[in-house]
Amino acid sequence: MRKFPTYLFSLLLFSYSALQAERIHQATGTNKNQGSANDFANSNPNDFNRKALKEAKEKKQVVLISVGLGWCPACSDLHDVFRTLKEDRSFKEQVGLVELDAEDDRDLIKDLKQEFDSIKPSWPVLLAIAKDKDGKWISTVRRGRLGTVEIQALISEAKTKSAGEAK
């Protein structure tokens, strides 16, 4: 049996670290060159995602929360759709976008499960939350492969529910 070459392991570890750094910078809106390497090494992606969710809830009327897994093909497709939506400035001004990894963000997902009963372990999950007239967050959920049309419908449904006109 052949051993796994050490240099491949190092390459995989470096690639994972670079992906995590990119994800953190996207979630926080920071410049990649800000902060030190030590700050990044001591950081927790869960903390950044918790901060991103809090900021989105403070600034936006509707927040989309995507929960998936890195190895899941449908989750990867949703990640690509989210990336496209993040690049659309007019969309981003109206809707908060937060991506969570079901493995890395377990604590945050556990907290969201307590607040919104609609998160179940079936990936990917897209949760749209919107404030109602009383300032309470109302959730609407979709699972599986989703494109921009389904996401727009989910946002419309969340806005309708929050306005008190639920179906």
* Cβ-based neighbour number of residue 43 at 10 Å: 15
Instruction: Output the pLDDT for position 4.
Output: 54
Please report, rounded to a whole number, the percentage of residues in the chain having pLDDT higher than 90.
Answer: 0
List, for residues 29-83, the tens digit of each pLDDT value: 554 444 444 444 444 556 777 888 888 888 877 888 888 888 889 888 988 988 8
Q: Where are the domains of the chain?
A: 1-43, 44-162
Give the chain as a 3 state SS string: CCCCCHHHHHHHHHHHHHHHHHHHHHHHCCCCCCCCHHHHHCCCHHHHHHHHHHHHHHHCCEEEEEEECCCCHHHHHHHHHHHHHHHCHHHHHHEEEEEEECCCCHHHHHHHHHHCCCCCCCCCEEEEEEECCCCCEEEEEEECCCCHHHHHHHHHHHHHHHCCCCC
Q: Which CATH class is domain 44-162?
A: alpha beta
Closest CA to 78 of 161, 3, 163, 148: 148
List, for residues 9-28, the tens digit of each pLDDT value: 554 555 565 566 666 666 65
